[in-house]
Structure formats: C-alpha cells, structure tokens
Structure 1
C-alpha cells in the first residue's frame, strides 16, 4: 500500500466492474478507505473482498444510486463507518444501446437519464455537505462522446455532455467551500462496453474504433484509474473545473490513424492491479 490517498475516504459509484473496479483497487492501494458502491447485480461484494485480502480498508454498498434516499444512505454509511468523506467518484453509468436516433428506444434513453444523469446529481448533492467539512473533491466520468458527439451514440453523448457542464458549474460554485470538481473523459477502454461479445457494439464498430485511435488500441481500466487518482489526490490541489481526456487521442483524430501507430504504442502497459471484473457489468437494459 502506498500513501497518495492516505487517510482519505472515498465513495466510488459503479465500483463493481470495469473502470470502477480499477479505481477502487487503485485508491485502496494508495491508502484510501473505499466504499465500493453499485447495483446489487454487479460484483460489488467480490471487489470489496479482493481489496480486503490485500489489506485495504473497504466496505460495499449495493443499491440503485439514482434515487435521493439511496444516495443519502450511501454517504451516511461511509461517514458512519469511516468517520468522514473526502472524495466522491461519480463513475456509475450505462451504455445500453448503439443505434441511429430514429431507431433509438425510449426505454434505453430513460435508462441512461436515470443512471448517467440522476445518479451523478443525487450523489453529488448528498455528498457535498460532508465534502465541505473535509475540503474534499468530486471527480465524475465524462466521455469523448460528451465532448464531440458520436454518431449512433448521440443520446449517450448527451448524458455525458450534461456531466461535463454540470461539473464545470459545480467547480465554480463549490470553490467557495473549498471543494474541487473535475472530469475524466475516457475514450475506448477495454471493458465490456467495447467488445461485440459483451456490449452493444458490433464487430465493425469495434474495428473502426481501434483504427480511429492514434495509439491503435483500447486503453486499460488501470490507465483511467491512474488519472482519477491524480485528480482525487492533493497533488491536484490547483486543478478544478478541468476535463482530463484519457482517450488515446481519439477525440482529436481524423481517419484510421491507429493503423499507423508505433508498435510499442499499441502494446498495453503491464499494470499492477489484479482486475477480475473488467469485462463484467451489465450493458443491457435491466427490468
């Protein structure tokens, strides 16, 4: 265990799989007490047990975090167990459908509003009174889709566009209370969402995605977690209202530039985290 977050208490929503799992394990290794929060259907308990085995301080919290009552309970649980709250990571989100807008289902759209927008709103609202006490910070999951808009992903990009604007507004209004607010914008990351076998993308989309990324590959969940770690730590003390893209350059790219990437750049770095749930997590609509 290192100490970049020593003595800090963090809630990570969507912490049971994908990028959320990596954030939870990275934060625990850096000394934070972590609340792994997420849907009951996700492997939240498994991630908590894995952190505990490594000697980390952790508890799990399973509920629908898009409701105000559950958001308050999550924050109250963290404070009751660990005495305070320093960091809120709004990582939770869903990606249920890829489609042209005229064919996009209202059910999928409503599901995204509920889980991508409502959850960030109610969790931030519930956490702020505690973050005022600790001069803490919020880091929320944006997306390349929320910056530039992506065809066949337009409703998803709209929900992430809300997050980008929402967090910048929070950064300005919450500075008077000593609270920093920032955004991490992942591009194509190696999770269930970006594989045709586990997510809504088809094989053509997966191929095009890698070709359009200047680095010629998906990012790893741990590479994204590294940026969350910086922004959540005191090292980022003069950073607020910022958007850190972790996208391999795809937001800026034009055409199949990934095919020209250096061979070393195409290799995934060897991470230090044991991520058992990077391909878990529900991407389809749950009734």
Structure 2
C-alpha cells in the first residue's frame, strides 16, 4: 500500500518536542523526508536521528526562525538535501506566561509575537516559492485559545487568532499558485505546556483542563499529528482555509462536563509512535 506522504518533503518547525516530534515521526512513517527545525536548545538532532535509526529520512536544522536569514537557510537546506519542498508545518510556538492582562509582562508578549507569529510569517514567506513549484501546502498551529479566548491567556490567544487569520489570507491568495493552507487548533494536549511542573499553568488550571473537556482527558501529541497528516496529504485536496480543532470538545464545553465522559473516551489510544520528547518543550523566555 502506498504511504500517504510517499515522495514528499516536509519542514516541521518546533519539531524537537511535544506535538512537533509527533508530526515529524508520523510524517516519516508515512514516507516523507523530514527537516526537523527548532531552537538549538531543543531536541531537533535527537528527533532526526531517531527517525533515521527507525528507517526514515530526516535532517535537523537548528536556529531562531524568527530571524529572516535563518528561515531562508532552513528552506535552502531542505532543497539542498532533498531537492524540493512539498509541505511546510508551522508548528513552532511558545507559551511563556499565564496571567491577567493587567499583570502580563511586555517581555512575554514580545517573545510570543516573535515565535508564534513572526516565525510563521517568515517561514511561509521563505517557503512559498518552493511550494508553488510543487503545488504543496502549509499547515499552521492555531489553538482553542485563538478561537474563543481564554482568561489569563488573552495575549496567547491573540497570537493564535493572528495565525488563523493569516492562514485564511494565504489560502485565498495562494490558491492561484496551487498552494493549500490550513490550521490545526489543539486544545489541552499532554505536553510540557499543560503541566504545572513543566509549564506556566498552576495545579488548578491543570485539573480544569481535564474536567472542562467533554472527552474527559488531555489529548496526545499523536492524536494532533494525525490531523496534521490528513491536512498535509492528498486526502485533503479540497480543504483550504480551514481551522481543524483537535480539542476534545473543550471549545464547545460548558462547566465540568468532562467528569461525565464515558470511560471509553477517557482512555488514551495506544498510538504507533515512539515519542521520547513530549515533555521537552521549553516554556521559558530566552534571550
């Protein structure tokens, strides 16, 4: 049986941990050659090596992709290594602070604008000439917070709402060149971001994420990667300008509805990927 991304070449930003690691490994399993891109501090080399050892093809690119020269270099490396570019996954993002707007730091806000929005813009700008050649596609990381707004996450949600609107503009603009553009909007996913011990949330928020989700649990990185795979594949040939929510229903949920979820829903699927870096995502503000 032909693999769903056979002969495709993909860049995955933020590919060293969390959802990004799952996307990289899912795509590699489906036949894609993958450029795992991210901060030098992230596990991008490890993820690329793990894919290679499992029989896939991957290379790492390390650098701050909110710098235009680095975004161009990432695309150039991809074409140099694999001859083309079919898919850009703008997954990279940061979640440095949870706070009321009156207390939210300017440092955290500027950091999010750089890595949630500027990186998405610059990587899209750099990749589009290559994607137009291959009639490829872009999938961008949106969020539940960008759809409905969340208290103490208003600034973060604002950056994700930009990504939703930016994607829609790209979808309309780039259709004339044969390029599709979509978003995936995760809700609470089991990564470093959703645990008080590894991210900016407190224990109460960590608990609320589960009970406010109709399915009654956190999602897994692989469950999100499954939707990225669909949107990046030819199966989504008639899908552009869409935001696909992968949120366990939390965007629609009212109150502690997750406590009533059927036990079958609360059970995580086993999954196929060997994920080692789900909790490695950095949430701190770096210079």
Relative to the length of structure 2, the TM-score reads 0.99
Match of 1:151 in 2: 151
Alpha-carbon distance between aligned partners in 2 of 1:209 and 1:5, rounded to the nearest angstrom: 33
Q: Distance in 2 between matches of 1:83 and 1:256?
A: 50
Deviation at 1:281, TM superposition (A): 1.5
Aligned residue number for residue 5 of structure 2: 5
- Counterpart Cα distance in 2 of 1:2 and 1:142: 30
Post-superposition Cα deviations, 1:149-175, rounded to whole Å, max 9, x if no partner, equal: 000000000000000000001000100
1:90 aligns with 2:96: no
Query: How far apart in 2 are the matches of 1:281 and 1:42?
Result: 7
SS at match of 2:41: coil
Aligned residues: 287
Aligned-pair Cα RMSD in Å: 0.8
Query: Which secondary structure does the structure 1 equivalent of 2:264 belong to?
Result: coil
Q: Secondary structure at the match of 2:227?
A: helix
Q: What SS is found at the alignment partner of 1:230?
A: helix
* Counterpart Cα distance in 1 of 2:256 and 2:12: 35
2:83 & 2:209 partners in 1: Cα distance? 44
Counterpart Cα distance in 1 of 2:2 and 2:162: 34
Q: Distance in 1 between matches of 2:173 and 2:45?
A: 35
Query: 1:13 Cα deviation (Å)?
Result: 0.1
Tell me the SS of whatever aligns to 1:61: strand
Distance 2:20 2:194 in 1: 15
Q: Distance between the aligned counterparts of 2:156 and 2:46, measured in 1?
A: 28
C-alpha displacement of 1:87: 0.1
CA distance in 1, matches of 2:63, 2:29: 25
CA distance in 2, matches of 1:26, 1:177: 27
Aligned mates of 1:89, 1:252 — CA distance in 2 = 26
- The 1-side partners of 2:10 and 2:239 are apart by 18
Which structure 1 residue ranges, 4+ long, deviate > 3 Å from structure 2? none
Contact 1:109–1:155 (Cα < 8 Å) also in 2: yes
Residue 228 of structure 1 and its aligned partner are, at CA, apart by 0.2
Distance 2:105 2:78 in 1: 36
- Correspondence for 1:109: 109
Corresponding residue number in structure 1 for 2:40: 40
CA distance in 1, matches of 2:94, 2:239: 27
Aligned to 2:268: 268
Q: 1:71: which partner in 2? A: 71
Give a deviation string over 1:142-201, Cα, whole Å, max 9, x none: 000000000000000000000000000100010000000000000000000000000000
Report what 2:188 is aligned to.
188
Q: 1:203 matched to which residue of 2?
A: 203
Contact 1:216–1:266 (CA<8 Å) still a contact in 2? yes
Distance of 2:243 and 2:117 partners within structure 1: 17
1:209-241 deviation per Cα after TM superposition (whole angstroms, max 9, x unaligned):
111000000000000000000000011000000
Tell me, yes or no, if the aligned pair for 1:2 and 1:29 is still in contact at 8 Å: no
Q: Is the aligned partner of 1:253 residue 2:265?
A: no
Extract unaligned runs of 5+ from structure 2.
none
Give the aligned partner of residue 52 of structure 1: 52
Shift of residue 286, structure 1, vs aligned partner: 1.2
Structure 1 residue 2: deviation in Å? 6.3
1:47-87 Cα shifts (integer Å, max 9, x gaps): 01100001101100000000111000000000010000000
